[in-house]
Amino acid sequence: MSTMTSRRPLVRRLPWAWIFGLGIPLLIFIRIFYLVSVTEQRDLAFFVGAAVQSLQLGSLYALIALGYTMVYGIIRLINFAHGEVFMVGAFTSYFLFSGAPFALPWALLWAAVLGWGVMFVLNLWRGRMNDPVVLGGGLLAFASFAAVLSATSISWWAALVMSMLSTGVLGVVIDRIAYRPLRGAPRISLLITAIAVSFFLQNTGLIVFTRNQTPFRPETQWTQFLQFDVMGGTVYTSRLMFLIPVLTAILVIGLTLFVTRTRLGKAMRASAQDAEVAQMMGVNVNRVIATTFLLGSMLAAAGGVLWGLNFGSLNQPAVLGILPGIKAFAAAVIGGIGSLPGAVIGGVLLGFLENFMTALFPRTPTFPGITEYKDTFAFALLIIVLLIRPSGIVGEDLSEKV
Amino acid sequence: MSESRTRLRNLLLTLGAGAIVAVILALVDGSGGAKLNDTLALFAIWGIAAVSLNLVNGTAGILSLGHHGFMLIGGYVTALLILPGDARERIASSARSEMTPFTLGLSVENWFDALGLTALTGPDGLWARFLVALFIGGFVAMLFGLIVGIPSLRLKGDYLAIVTFGFGEIIRLTASTSLFSPFTNGALGYSGVPNDFGKSLWWTFALLGLTLFVMTKFKFSSYGRALQAIREDEIAAEAMGVGLARHKVMAFAISAFFAGIAGGLWVSYLSAARLDFFLFFLTFFFLVAISVGGTGSYTGVLLGVAVVVFVQQYGDPLEKTYSLSVWFGLLGLLILAAGIGGGLYRRQRRMRPVWHPLVVILAVIGGVTLLVAIVGQNWAPLQGTFQAFGMRRILLALLLIVIMALRPEGIMGRAEFSWAWLLRERKDQPSDEERAQDAWLSNPELNREGGATAGDDERDADVPRVGRDRGDTRASAPDDPLPRALLDEDSPGAHPLLERGHKARKGDDPRYGTAHDPSGGAESTDRSDDDSDERKDGEA
């Protein structure tokens, strides 16, 4: 764009990175100081609690944002359906660990479908069906899903693993059915398909799962309350303040090791740089994309389970998918879409911003507070970042070139 | 047939078709079938919205996902301005009302009173007040369209789509906040909006006709052509002197205006204004209509709207209560179909094992499930009933996925309905004049002296080089009877057709050749003229 290039020197003269990087934290600290010591509306412990909460929320956003950023990095698709995949992951784990056990025919049917899905995914990597890994994996998945679905209750981490597995399969199947026929098509067509998939999953979720707010309380010690004193005040939190960030960190480190240390990860990075050339060099790009969807969906499912633990309930499927999804996408854009560390940074940053916005401007008799703008804030942030700096914090410039 | 006569004929045919539509509407209106009446009204309202979205999505090639936001604005403004007095009193006396006396006083009736137009203030003048309110709603929506469009249209492609989606959602989310709730009455909204207009076929179809008229005029005006140029290639369009930002913002604003009008009718159709009437599903439905019907074609979009409205209005058998064993069997049938479909797909794509084990396993799972459902109808675990709310939306989503995979340009593509097409007037066939030119160009006698590979191969020289390079499929056959007669003339240089082409075009407008060069099939006549010009220069 000519207008952009002509304006660019002016932008460069001002050190925006420094202004934002130091100025906004400074403003926040001044505001905290004002609230704590001048008006005494809040004590410092409140802000420590908010920071802990922000870290939890930010980790969840980061887990979802990783899926967006990986898919965008490789096929340049804003995977609109990723939020819905997250929703499916959350609800799958809910149905795995709780509720009445499935009746035998339903349990067998779902187990068979999921076992087939696992075989499908394994076959993508192994390349042939007559392979002990493919057959064994499929049979194992069938047996374990059948057992889990007909059991009265299983532990939440087993539900987490199972949910990650089935959601990963769902991601691969979505890619195979909806996105792969459009590989050479314009990106807008791909985006429309993604919107259609998202709409499909939303409404299927409303039918298959529930139409209501669902309590999400597995039997676990992790949700127990926890309180400690900070500077005269008490911080109320739960053991999740350890679980969520640590689990997120483990998953992110695992993903980073996968991407940097394995052959498939190397192929992934190559495809992200230039899919065509990677294909010429012998990389099976379709397999790489399927892997990307598998990993992204698995992380989203993990995020879904932790989301349920964090909030104690799941919103109805049509809302649970879209809002965290769009916020996580905003996080991915803030961090720099296409970059893995960017997604984590953006997620944590968005978690902090969202929580501190409401904490910094409390409700007073004359001022109604800004809690009602909480969802608007994520959209507004997304728009502002896209308009001002589409490349995000760490991303390279991905704007379309001639 | 001369051009003016063709135009007159088309006008008469259009008027006749309009009269037939009016007769059908009168019949439906008189028969009193509420469902059919509602369906047609819904078709017209959603048609207005979808056609206006198509101006942005199809003609200008900007994927906009914020249309429901503009509809919301138009709908709320219209509803507020025509809300009858008793509904206002109800809101004012309600404890949960969030409106102020000022916003409750915003009414076209009060304005007419103040202006002394007492004839239009009673129940008899409702139509005038609705019309005024509708257009004010449209203009406010247009204003928001400008506010949204001016910053966001700097972006392109999928980022722009996300930004418009964000704006659409922001409009809906902020409408219920304390900042705007005096105007929108928060989450309660308004009830008691008169539905004399949204359910009236005359009003809705008249406005649909107006929208279509404006949109087609706009599409074939210079602005519309500039938008199509932007859709095809932004950089080329900019190089040709098309102001990108100006055209895009204008398209966005016009689209928002008609979205506002559709919103006003939608509110009147539902006789209430609430925030959950304006969810993203509206934009999604219009997107389905546009993609199914044909991106960029208004007639195609109307076809798509008909499909969507039909599914929406007559798809309720899908959402009835059925027994659990029926669902089990249906699921099995679906899986079986997926397996068989996978096999057929593999055969069509010539993948090596057509019946790949995975496909077979899927089909077997589906078959066994279906069998169990049939055999075990009285089996205890399959007893019970289940109702699938939302099946219609799933169906529409699937339709969109399938259309995007199989026929991304939609049913109609970019073609518009035209009387010439209906009457089998083949515009894509070359005219006699063009045939003569092509034949002259493909004459082997002439090519032999001009080309460097003279007389190399008789058959090769038959094909005109220019036409072949451009991928022009219209190159005439060498044994065309007509050109022989023309070729009998002595000197090809003195051919009257070529004289005309040379003088009229190149001398007058030096930019002519470049301006039309990259265009698609639309200007095929002009292009063949161009080709002959170039060819002649080479010969001379």
User: What local confidence, expressed as pLDDT, does residue A265 receive?
Assistant: 92
B273-291 pLDDT, tens digit each: 999 899 999 999 999 999 9
Q: How confident is the model at residue A54 (pLDDT cuts 50, 70, 90)?
A: very high
**Residues of chain A contacting B151 with CB distance shorter than 8 Å:** 387
Nearest to A206 among B158, B389, B401 (CB): B389
User: What local confidence, expressed as pLDDT, does residue A174 receive?
Assistant: 95
Q: Is B68 helix (H, G, I), strand (E, B) or coil?
A: helix
pLDDT of residue B446 exceeding 80:
no
Does residue B391 sit at the A interface (CB-CB below 8 Å)? Answer: yes
A177-205 pLDDT, tens digit each: 999 988 888 888 899 999 999 999 999 99
Beta bridge partners of A238: A225
pLDDT over 70, % of chain A: 93
pLDDT of residue A99 exceeding 70:
no
B228-256 pLDDT, tens digit each: 999 888 889 989 888 888 899 999 999 99
How far are the Cα atoms of A15, A115, B254, B405 from residue B204, in angstroms, in the given order? Answer: 55, 53, 19, 34
Which of the pair, B363 or A129, is modelled with greater confidence? B363
Lowest-confidence pick of A342-346, A391-395, B73-77: A391-395
Q: Which residue has the tokens 């190089």?
A: B239
pLDDT of residue B413 exceeding 60:
yes
Nearest to A191 among B161, B362, B365 (CB): B161
Name the DSSP letter for residue B429.
S
Least Cα separation, residue A255 to chain B (angstroms): 27
Does residue B358 sit at the A interface (CB-CB below 8 Å)? Answer: yes
Q: Is B534 helix (H, G, I), strand (E, B) or coil?
A: helix
Stated pTM of the model? 0.83
**Residues of chain A contacting B291 with CB distance shorter than 8 Å:** 192
Q: How confident is the model at residue B70 (pLDDT cuts 50, 70, 90)?
A: very high
Give the span between the Cα atoms of A57 and A349, in whole angstroms. 10
Q: How confident is the model at residue B43 (pLDDT cuts 50, 70, 90)?
A: very high
| CB-CB under 8 Å, B155 with A178 | no
Q: How confident is the model at residue B354 (pLDDT cuts 50, 70, 90)?
A: confident
Which of the pair, A338 or A170, is modelled with greater confidence? A170
**Averaging pLDDT over each range in A193-207, A371-385, B321-335, B412-426, which range is the top one?**
A193-207
The phi and psi torsions of A263 (rounded to 5 degrees) equal -60, -45
Q: Could you count the other beta carbons within 10 Å of the beta carbon of residue B326? A: 15
pLDDT of residue B516 exceeding 70:
no
User: What local confidence, expressed as pLDDT, does residue B537 receive?
Assistant: 42
Q: How confident is the model at residue B445 (pLDDT cuts 50, 70, 90)?
A: low
User: What local confidence, expressed as pLDDT, does residue B426 receive?
Assistant: 60
**Residues of chain B contacting A380 with CB distance shorter than 8 Å:** 166, 170
Least Cα separation, residue B39 to chain A (angstroms): 23
Which of B 307-336 lie inside 8 A of A, CB atoms?
Answer: 328, 331-332, 335
| CB-CB under 8 Å, A376 with B177 | yes
**Residues of chain A contacting B372 with CB distance shorter than 8 Å:** 105
Residue of B276, B372, B401, B403 to mutate, interface with A, max A Cβ within 10 Å: B401
**Averaging pLDDT over each range in A44-48, B226-230, B477-481, which range is the top one?**
B226-230
Give the span between the Cα atoms of A236 and A46, in whole angstroms. 9
| CB-CB under 8 Å, B356 with A380 | no
pLDDT over 90, % of chain A: 44
Which of B 190-249 lie inside 8 A of A, CB atoms?
Answer: 235, 238, 245
Nearest to B178 among A112, A189, A368 (CB): A368
Give the span between the Cα atoms of A99 and A116, in whole angstroms. 25
User: What local confidence, expressed as pLDDT, does residue A301 receive?
Assistant: 96
Query: Would you say A333 and A382 are in contact if contact means Cβ atoms under 8 Å apart?
Result: yes
Q: Could you count the other beta carbons within 10 Å of the beta carbon of residue A210? A: 15
- The rounded Cα B390 to chain-centroid distance in angstroms is 25
Which of B 176-195 lie inside 8 A of A, CB atoms?
Answer: 176-178
User: What local confidence, expressed as pLDDT, does residue B470 receive?
Assistant: 43
Helices assigned H by DSSP within B463-504: 465-469, 481-487, 496-501
Does residue B155 sit at the A interface (CB-CB below 8 Å)? Answer: yes
Lowest-confidence pick of B197-201, B252-256, B261-265, B379-383: B379-383
Lowest-confidence pick of B39-53, B253-267, B427-441: B427-441
**Residues of chain B contacting A103 with CB distance shorter than 8 Å:** 381-382
**Residues of chain B contacting A400 with CB distance shorter than 8 Å:** 156-157
User: What local confidence, expressed as pLDDT, does residue B525 receive?
Assistant: 41
**Residues of chain B contacting A106 with CB distance shorter than 8 Å:** 328, 381
Q: What number is the average pLDDT over the span B373-402?
A: 85
**Averaging pLDDT over each range in A38-47, B116-125, B368-377, which range is the top one?**
B368-377
Q: Which residue has the tokens 């039918």?
A: A207
User: What local confidence, expressed as pLDDT, does residue B447 receive?
Assistant: 58
The phi and psi torsions of B191 (rounded to 5 degrees) equal -125, 165
Is the sign of the CA dihedral B61, B66, B72, B73 positive or negative?
negative
Q: How confident is the model at residue B86 (pLDDT cuts 50, 70, 90)?
A: confident
Query: Would you say A330 and A378 are in contact if contact means Cβ atoms under 8 Å apart?
Result: yes
Provide ipTM, 2 decimals. Answer: 0.88
Give the span between the Cα atoms of B149 and B67, in whole angstroms. 12
Using alpha carbons, select from A161, A120, A165 the residue that is nearest to residue A138: A120
Lowest-confidence pick of A3-7, A214-218, B438-442: A3-7
Give the span between the Cα atoms of B463 and B478, in whole angstroms. 8
pLDDT of residue B69 exceeding 60:
yes
Q: How confident is the model at residue B468 (pLDDT cuts 50, 70, 90)?
A: very low
Least Cα separation, residue A261 to chain B (angstroms): 31
Residue of A363, A379, A381, A401 to mutate, interface with B, max B Cβ within 10 Å: A379
Give buried/exposed letters for A248-270 (b at 16+ CB in 10 A, else e).
beebbeebeeebeeeebbebbeb
pLDDT of residue B346 exceeding 80:
yes
**Residues of chain A contacting B365 with CB distance shorter than 8 Å:** 109, 112-113, 116
Chain A to chain B, count of Cβ pairs less than 8 Å apart?
A: 158
**Residues of chain A contacting B361 with CB distance shorter than 8 Å:** 116, 119
Residue of B180, B327, B369, B404 to mutate, interface with A, max A Cβ within 10 Å: B404
Q: What number is the average pLDDT over the span B92-107?
A: 82
Nearest to B177 among A3, A178, A373 (CB): A373
User: What local confidence, expressed as pLDDT, does residue B477 receive?
Assistant: 45
The phi and psi torsions of B399 (rounded to 5 degrees) equal -60, -45
